[in-house]
Structure 1
Amino acid sequence: MRRLRYYIRLWNGYQRISLLMVTQYPADTVIWILSMLLREASAFLGVVTIANVAGGFGRWNLYELCLLFSMCAIIEAIGQSFFDNIWGINYHVKDGLLDVYMIRPASVFIQLLGERFHYQAVISMTAYIGLMIYSMVHLGIGLGIGTLFFLLEFLICGTAVNSGIYLIFNSLNFWLIQGNDLPVLVQTCREFAKYPLSVFPSMIGCFFTFIIPFGFVGYYPAAYLTGKSGNWVLFAMPVCALTIGLIGSVIWRTGIRGYESTGN
């Protein structure tokens, strides 16, 4: 319990520093928010344009696509806000920066995450939440107790899957000299999660379900809400999140145990 209180205070301290940085550079914060919104908006407009021309994606109409897109964007925004420094493992290993963390009386992983928060993503996330609610209203999906609990499960499990996948591939930098290209490739593949996997060949659907399960970041939860998938999603999401979390933890711990400063 004492250790837990220590980490809570440490985490709060890191967040306070990040909030001060956001207010210290307001212009940079505004530019960051606008760039993120524009990036997501361009991808969203592409999906909407294709859907309008083709009359939808398979059995997915426009509002269902809006729901899918918004759920994916919310998870990505949470990852960018609180877990974005996972992408810093590469230069922390190459430059020997983990040495500083290892001589401190705190978890190296917590220190790594706490070094950088992007609260700008939290602000921009409100737009995605608005889009999700807008889509649910037009689809007749009520915000009852069951739906709210499902959305909470989705936020927790989706974040664990999304950030866990990035942790797995970024932790390979402990062994690879130029290992950052691989997680960037994986991040690019994540764009498939913004589309209904059912419109792709079954091989692609299986890949994003069992190999790199980005399907649980948006597609399967959205399919459940729209009645296109059964109750198995309720059980599959936590199983997937736990599996990815355990794999990521094992690879990270193995890497940090073998870490020998710069030149690792």
Structure 2
Amino acid sequence: MFYVSVFFQYMAQYMKTKLQYRADLFVEFLSDLMFQSVNLIFILVVFGHTTLLHGWTRDEMIFIYGFFLVPFALFGAFFNIWDFNERYIVRGEMDRVLTRPVHSLFQVILERMELESLVGGVTGLIIMGDASARLHLEFHWYDFFLFLLFALGGMLVYAGVFISLATISFWSDARSSIMPMMYNISNYGRYPIDIYNRVIRYILTWILPFAFVGVYPSAYFLGKKEWYSYAFLTPIMGVIFFMIAIMLWNKGIKHYRGAGN
């Protein structure tokens, strides 16, 4: 209950801060929508030259992209730690975090919240709804709960990978970071996994499992039975990678020796 109380207190302060600069908030919403529109236009351009991409139709690809936006939005809202190395290690703010009686990772996550990113999830739901209508998909009452389970699993996959990358900073405070490169690699998870060669498929499934963020869980709703087993692995993979990230974080905290002078 203590952590729940702290979470809502952080959220209240965050909303007060954001509402003081409403123009900036509107610009952030607009920039997110433009970014999502560009990616959607890219898919439409590709299918302007072909009707199928390795057996996947345009509307199926759009559905996958829409689903991908939901866990990605959750991740962007609550695990926005792309600048962890620069802010908390190089600038020494990690020392401040460690003086408080709350788990350090929990504090970092709350301090870097960007709740406006949740708008991307709404956009994803709209895109999924439109694609579902075009594909004439039928859903069951339990699909809503599976959708939530898959979306949370995809979010944990993202969080696990990027928190693990952030822990590298505890052993190396170099200003260079592999975060931007990893963000680019993660985008491959929004496309059908079987359009890549075997090596890339293996990496996106078991090493950097970004395929569990978009294509695998989407395959269940699209009726791709050959991918069902992977779809139901989504929450399991999310929990595994998130637990690994927490273990690495706790080990990194013990190794951390402060910002020095």
Q: TM-score range by the shorter chain?
A: over 0.9
Matches within 5 A, 1:89-238: 89-178=85-174, 180-228=176-224, 229-238=226-235
Partner of 1:262: 259
Contact kept, 8 Å, 2:89 with 2:173, in 1: the verdict is no
Greater Cα offset, 218-227 or 83-92: 83-92
Aligned mates of 1:144, 1:154 — CA distance in 2: 15
TM-score by length of 1: 0.92
Matched residue type, 1:244: F
Question: What's the Cα RMSD here?
Answer: 1.8
Contact kept, 8 Å, 1:52 with 1:62, in 2: the verdict is no
Aligned mates of 1:74, 1:231 — CA distance in 2: 20
**Cα shift readout 1:148-205 (whole Å, capped 9, x = no counterpart):** 1210111110110011111111211111233652122111101211211111111111
Alignment counterpart, residue 38 of structure 2, candidates 42, 52, 58: 42
Matched residue type, 2:100: R
**Cα shift readout 1:66-91 (whole Å, capped 9, x = no counterpart):** 11111111211111111113642442
Matched residue type, 1:213: P
Contact kept, 8 Å, 1:63 with 1:135, in 2: the verdict is yes
TM-score by length of 2: 0.93
Return 5+ residue gaps in structure 1 as ranges: none
Matched residue type, 1:40: Q
Contact kept, 8 Å, 2:212 with 2:231, in 1: the verdict is no
Aligned mates of 1:58, 1:40 — CA distance in 2: 24
Q: CA 1:25–1:124 in structure 2 vs 1: closer, same or farther (change >3 Å)? A: farther
- Percent identical: 22
Q: Report the 3-state secondary structure (helix = DSSP H, G, I; strand = E; otherwise coil) of the residue aligned with 2:48.
A: helix
Aligned mates of 1:230, 1:39 — CA distance in 2: 29
Runs of 4+ in structure 1 over 6 Å off: none
Contact kept, 8 Å, 1:68 with 1:219, in 2: the verdict is yes
Paired residues, what number? 260
